[in-house]
Structure 1
Amino acid sequence: MKKLNLSDQLMLGVCYYPEQWPEEMWEDDMIRMKHMGINLIRVGEFAWSIFEPTEGNFYFKDFDYMLRLAHKHGLKVIIGTPTATPPAWLTEKYPEVLNATVEGHLLNHGLRRHTNYTSTTYHRLCAAITEALVLNYKDNPAVVGWQLDNEFNCEIGEFYSESDHEAFRAWVQQRYGTLEKLNDAWGTVFWSQTYSSWSQVYLPRLVPGGKQPNPHLALDEKRFISDSVIAFAKIQADIIAEHAPHHFITTNGLFGHLDSHKLTKELLDFFSYDSYPQFSTIFYDANEARSLEDRSWSLTLSTVRSISPQFCIMEQQAGPGGWVNKMDMPSPRPGQLRLWSYQSIAHGANLVVYFRWRSATFGQEIYWHGLNDYGNTPNRRLAEAEKVAKEMAHISDLIASTTVQADVAIVRDYTNEWDGEYDVWHGPFGWKSGKEWFKALTRTHIPSDVLYINEETTLAELQRYKLLVYPHPAIMTKATAQLLEAYVVSGGHIVFGCRSGYKDQRGHCYMLPFPGVLSTLAGITLEEYTVVKGTREAVSIVCTDDQSTSFATSYFNEIIEPYASTVDVIAVYNEDYYKGKPALTRNAFGKGTAWYYGSVFSEEIARYLLQQLDVVSTPAPWLELPEQVELSIRGNELAQYCFILNYSQQPAAITLHEPAYELLSGKTIDGQLELAGYDVLILRKA
């Protein structure tokens, strides 16, 4: 049997929970799925108590029947290993598998994700259920792949059980080898924290003032959690790879304290993501200027694409969402379900799986609505999903083999993200500036990637882009700095913000003038810096070539001191004690340029820099598009396809200066047209 390849076709699926519905409903459900164009179902990720009602006694009869029905009606199946929700008999008999709070209190059975990743008992039990499932279904003609667990580190991403402390102690010993090296890495001479025995080493614990660990211990804690998740996932992935090599392996998520790039590279065929754009209504910041709302999910999808150029949306929002006690999300407006589906496809998804087929009538997710409401009768969401299914089948041959194309990348790395969770002197700035840059790019219709950089990143990977935006990389190794220098020397352009380059991999500050190891590339040092507290202390910068152009700064200001003759001062501060001092510089370095901004980026300053750089522009200059629509490009050596998505309820005026073939309608269009609210176009130049 050939392993399913995402590049072969676009597919539409739905999450299905047969254990929650009477058996007599199953076949009717599948007939309806197939009729509307569903290709695939995901099952089983929460069914451990069904599969193994008591320890060592496996029961697959009901699911065997359900899979026969799926095969009968031409539906492919992804099975989830059910290790995110162990049954009650397991946690009662083996309490050592439970996670604990930082205070040491066990997190009890009753929700999900209440276990730890390090218990050898849990490893054994998870391996047993995984192997039993795989052996039972490895030759089932309906099954095409496996989802490991469900949403690693969702709900909780910190672990303080006794087995976690023991595993961390072993991890630290393997990482550093000697107590001398550990004490040096963690700077334990500060406040007399020096360890004289490995038995003294723990994960963060409560200290005076609450949980305030040594910052270098806190950074290593995140590295340990990520390694623990990957080791746990490997147990299951190895079993599947051994017994069912013809099935693909994936997992879903994108949660904290996990290097999803490493996880995917080592264990998976491709990565999967759970996309709920209406979370933008829950996490909305009333103080954010010009919020992107559901369009902001495109930035997250770009992150997923950095892991897998073609990926799966394992859960695509299909209705209003909410648990009984939280997450009350409104219903998608007419057209939004289809819009969000194409948002995923436009950013690299070749498999989109709606969550879920039918709204649950009981349990914690009783208000997390699926395509079908409780009454199980036709509705507009079902109609929209059916329209998407028919359109995907129509465009599959053209789009499936394509990948997203972009000339600019927003650069990130896990080390700074993890360090920044605790370090308020740089952590909050990375997410803020990255989002503001994305706003500037997407509203000027310049597609962008997210690029995660690490010690394995090559110069060729960087050279795919004309422009790199690396907003606030406080931690910067000398090797990475040299790699970025080589990129710029070869003709690339890079932009940094404040708080860059001053820490090493351990989180120690270099004994160098700021910006540390980036000083050579930027051609500057820093004279001074200060935290900006609120609007009272906010200052502005003014451009040196046009003093009528100014921008407000926020959060942090650095006073730049150029030292290289190749540095041009682009803007200076316009007030306070550092009035007239450099705030924004450009350094000609080899064939490229390195820009340094001594503050936190806003959309306005990002737009200004794009104009000044003049190295990237919209890839479709033959289109005139308003801000309210997004442009994304998928292409291959044969053709480029322009995805145009209208995120507004209002129609958008679009002008085509050259004729183009529109894939969804099958028509050639030209000139001016009105794109309806929440509507989508896919264009190929005629």
Structure 2
Amino acid sequence: MPETTPKGLTRLAFGGDYNPEQWPETVWQEDVRLMREAGVTMVSVGIFSWALLEPSPGAYDFGWLDRLLDLLHENGIRADLGTPTVAPPAWFYRAHPEALPVTADGTRYEFGSRGAICHSNADYRAAAANITTRLATRYAEHPALALWHVHNEYGVPVSACYCESCAAHFRRWLTDTYGTIDALNEAWGTAFWGQRYAGFDQINPPRLTPTVGNPGQALDHKRFADATMRENFVAERDILHRLAPGIPVTTNFMTALSQCDSVDYWAWGREVDLVTNDHYLITDGRRTHVNLAMAADLTRSVASGAPWLLLEHSTSGVNWQPHNPAKAPGQMARNSLAHVARGSEGAMFFQWRQSRRGAEKFHSSMLPHGGTDTRVWREVVELGSSVDSLRSIRGTRTRADVAVLWDWQSWWAQNLQWRPSEDHDPRERADAFYEALYDRHLTVDFAHPEADLSAYPLVVVPALYLMTEAAGNNLEEYVENGGTLVVSYFSGIVDEHDAVHDGPYPGALRDVLGLTVEEFSPLLKDDRIRVTGPDGSELTGDVWSEFVVPRGAETVWTYADGLTAGHPAVTRHRFGEGSAWYVSTRLTAQGLDALLGRAADDARIAPRADLPRDVEVVCRTGESGTFLFAVNHTALDTKVPLDAHGTELLTGERAAGQVSVPAGAVRVVRLDG
């Protein structure tokens, strides 16, 4: 079995991307001195260095990297060494312009940014394998090497290419997937609009068409693009495994970033030795710490619950959003330790020293333009000390309360054109349900729809338009055996080919939910609909409503107005030993809380009324003990109750019955026993 923890790293990872090639070598000595002052344990190097390592075809210069790795080793700093295949050199594109990707409308991108790659191009694949082989051969035994970092953020900014090389590769992939053209025609429903193919040679990628193209073709092309990137990762990984055994291999994910929805991380999680993630706060007016928690929970879930590593986040503001505010004092540490609470084995940043040139020169860093006489630097040094004090949590696992189903391929299908309402955003529903669970102080595992769910008393399906028959059977078995299920609207509608399940909506779920849906009734923009309960309670919905017909389910809330007035809005179905809830409109946060409160009662999950809003409490457990993380995102001091006595690791103080958590701070209690 490959190693899954960075070699030689005996503490939590703390550091960031280090790009010394941007600076004279005279600066390197100062860098490592300051790294030691800050408590840096590992840095990522060489990720964008192909043009320096191979300045012309077949001519190599490893001297600078030799000196860098030696310097890091002499100072006790481990190296996460990149294969620089995200940024081929200018000379490569001059020799192989066809390696630049082509958009669906036929435009070929130019050299001058990053990630401009046709992943089907044979010349790119050969060149990537060559530079990876050279690096592995040279550095396999280097004492600084802890981790291999293949490529960078696959799928950002380009995942799919529509050139002739990709067309030929797509045809081969379809042939392997379907075997016969008849099977493909059946899966894609090509009888519609006369799109039937007589052979695989007639198929192209879903390039620009006069109106909407075939959704089955578009969905399969997304699968193909993802699989093609993954093929290239696996090719590099296998070279590294062969030439540098004992060194784990990773590539940095971006699990919860909607801009990176072209990657099926369930599949990628099975291919890396260590799951790593990049996370940046999206400053859109929402509570950014909730998305942070969601990203950490999702990354841990992609890692099958095992410890993972936050490989990039920011010390303060970024540079690529419309508005890039600085982080408040203390927020960097709070963000970092919130990731650690949810399973990360450290906190890494982009980047170590802030660049003076290039596209990201205004992106914050550990060592800012202002140097060491800055708030950010002082907070970095303080955080390094805090991270070091938590070394005993290494290898422990975060304990979850509930599961949320999540499937990237369902997002792909849902977001194709011509759906009942453009206002229904499945990712918005996932965020909303997660936030409602977060506000009930429940720690979430995410799960693939076909995964074993038996460990969870409550499973939530916020948006799962595409659901296989196997997934539907899995949910039936889960509820039948005593689980509590909550399903939101427009779920279970189509199969893996985007074909509507045979029979009434919601095909894959109608038996477990005990109902059918005769018709969708999306609402116009800004329309609202009232939903009332027999106890006089009133909820509000928008975007969506349905004509729901109970087939064994009981009505809990009813539409009070609109076209669906008098029809069930929220139902509950006793099925076997468990129960299944269905909500057929987009409820507000208040409505979701009311719904999840009822479902949590079914699941016998006790409420956490003793915890204030925006104070999260998460536990990590393992052979080294049980560690309670209390993260206070509020402006008020608070006290968090404890079930046992313990020692607070950041201050060294004893805690009995409760732990005091100052405003904006984090406390980590190692419980006795």
TM over 0.5: yes
* 2:424 matches 1:433: no
* Structure 1 stretch displaced more, 136-145 or 600-609: 600-609
Q: Counterpart in 1 of 2:129?
A: 127
Cα distance in 1, alignment partners of residues 189 and 431 from structure 2: 33
Distance 1:375 1:392, change over 3 A: closer
My pick for the range that moved more, 97-106 or 84-93, is 97-106
How much has 1:160 moved relative to structure 2? 1.4
Q: CA deviation at 1:533?
A: 1.1
Conservation of the 8 A alpha-carbon contact between 2:545 and 2:564: no
Quick check: 1:157–1:256 contact (8 Å CA) kept in 2?
Answer: no
Q: Which residue of 2 aligns with 1:215?
A: 215
Partner residue, 1:177: 179
Q: What's the counterpart of residue 445 of structure 2? A: 449
Q: Report the 3-state secondary structure (helix = DSSP H, G, I; strand = E; otherwise coil) of the residue aligned with 1:134.
A: helix
Q: Could you tell me which of 110, 115, 118 is aligned with 1:113?
A: 115
Matches within 5 A, 1:120-159: 120-159=122-161
- Aligned 8 A contact 1:610 1:616 in 2: no
Q: CA deviation at 1:475?
A: 1.9
Q: Which runs of 4+ in 1 moved over 6 A?
A: 617-620, 671-674
For residues 408 and 96 of structure 1, do their structure 2 counterparts lie closer, same or farther at Cα, with a shift above 3 Å needed? same
2:224 maps to 224
Question: Counterpart in 2 of 1:390?
Answer: 385
**Aligned: 1:656 with 2:644:** no
Match of 1:302 in 2: 297
Shift of 1:429: 3.8
Q: Aligned partners of 1:37 and 1:8: how far apart in 2?
A: 13
Q: Which of the numbers 50, 53, 69 marks the counterpart of 1:51?
A: 53
CA shift digits 1:610-645 (9 cap, x unpaired): 321215687895x83210222222223664322221
Deviations 1:225-284, CA, capped at 9 Å, x for gaps: 111011111110010000001111000022222222222313x1111111212xx21xx1
Question: Does the C-alpha gap of structure 1 residues 617 and 333 become closer, same or farther in structure 2, counting only changes over 3 Å?
Answer: farther
- Does the 8 A contact of 1:492 with 1:591 survive in 2? yes
Does residue 314 of the first structure (1) align with residue 311 of the second (2)?
A: yes
1:555 maps to which residue? 543
What letter matches 1:653 in structure 2? T
Q: Is the 8 A contact 1:51 1:60 kept in 2?
A: yes
5+ residue gaps, structure 1: 286-290
Q: Which segment is superposed worse, 326-335 or 507-516? A: 326-335
How far 1:65 sits from its partner (Å)?
A: 0.6
Partner of 1:503: 494
Does the CA contact (< 8 Å) of 1:446 and 1:619 recur in 2?
no
Match of 2:257 in 1: none
Residues 275, 9 of structure 1: alpha-carbon distance in 2 compared, 3 angstrom cutoff? same
1:608 — aligned with what? 594
Secondary structure of the corresponding residue to residue 516 of structure 2: strand
Instruction: Report the AA paired with residue 340 of structure 1.
Output: N
Change in 2 beyond 3 A, CA 1:3/1:580: closer
1:533 to 524, 536, 556: 524
**1:38-77, aligned counterparts within 5 Å?**
38-77=40-79
Matched, 1:348 2:343: yes
Give 1:113 shift.
0.9
1:475 aligned onto 2:472 = no
What corresponds to 1:202 in structure 2? 204
**Per-residue deviation, 1:134:** 0.8
Question: Cα deviations across residues 324-374 of structure 1 (Å, max 9, x unaligned)?
Answer: xx6541221110111111111011110321211111001111111211122
Counterpart-to-counterpart distance in 1, 2:142 and 2:658: 53
Q: For residues 52-76 of structure 1, give each alpha carbon's deviation from its aligned partner in whole angstroms, at most 9, with x where no partner exists.
A: 0001111100110111111111111
**SS of the counterpart of 2:597?**
helix
* Match status 1:257 vs 2:262: yes
Please state if 1:587 is matched with 2:573: yes
Indicate the residue corresponding to 1:543 in structure 2: 533
C-alpha contact (below 8 Å) 1:360/1:369 kept by paired residues: no
Structure 1 residues 220 and 3: alpha-carbon distance in aligned structure 2, compared to 1, 3 A threshold: closer
Q: One-letter code of the match for 1:50? A: L
* Identity fraction in percent: 29
Aligned to 1:273: 277
CA distance in 1 between partners of 2:73 and 2:339 (Å): 27
Name the SS for the 2:521 alignment partner: strand
> Offset at 1:583?
1.2
Change (3 A) 1:352 1:114: same
Q: Could you tell me how far 1:5 is from its partner in structure 2?
A: 2.2
1:288 is aligned to none
Q: 1:489 aligns with which of 457, 480, 496?
A: 480
Which blocks of at least 5 consecutive residues in structure 2 are unaligned? 255-259
Q: 1-side partners of 2:365 and 2:335: how far apart?
A: 15
Residue in structure 2 matched with residue 401 of structure 1 by the alignment: 395
Write the distance in 2 (CA, Å) between the matches of 1:25 and 1:195.
62
Does the Cα contact within 8 Å between 1:588 and 1:594 map onto a contact in 2? yes
Q: Give the distance between the partners of 1:182 and 1:128, measured in 2 at CA.
A: 36
**SS state at 1:312 partner:** strand
Please say if residues 651 and 675 of structure 1, whose CA atoms lie closer than 8 Å, have aligned partners that are also in contact: no
1-side partners of 2:59 and 2:185: how far apart?
49
The letter for the 1-side match of 2:325 is: P
Structure 2 distance, partners of 1:626, 1:380, is: 29
1:628 aligns with 2:623: no
Q: Write the distance in 2 (CA, Å) between the matches of 1:13 and 1:426.
A: 45
Counterparts of 2:194 and 2:220 in 1: how far apart (Å)?
19
Q: TM (normalized to structure 2)? A: 0.93
Q: Distance in 2 between matches of 1:169 and 1:331?
A: 48
1:463 to 424, 440, 454: 454
> Could you say what secondary structure the match of 1:635 adopts?
strand
Query: Partners of 2:602 and 2:35 in 1: how far apart?
Result: 47
Aligned match of 1:573: 559
Q: Which residue of 1 aligns with 2:406?
A: 412
Alignment of 1:283-294 (within 5 A): 284=284, 291-294=286-289
Q: Deviations over 1:72-119 (max 9, x none)?
A: 111110111101111000000011211011121211100111111110
Question: SS of the counterpart of 1:479?
Answer: helix
CA distance in 2, matches of 1:73, 1:620: 49
Q: Which amino acid aligns with 2:269?
A: T
CA distance in 2, matches of 1:42, 1:82: 12
Q: Which moved more, 1:612-621 or 1:53-62?
A: 612-621
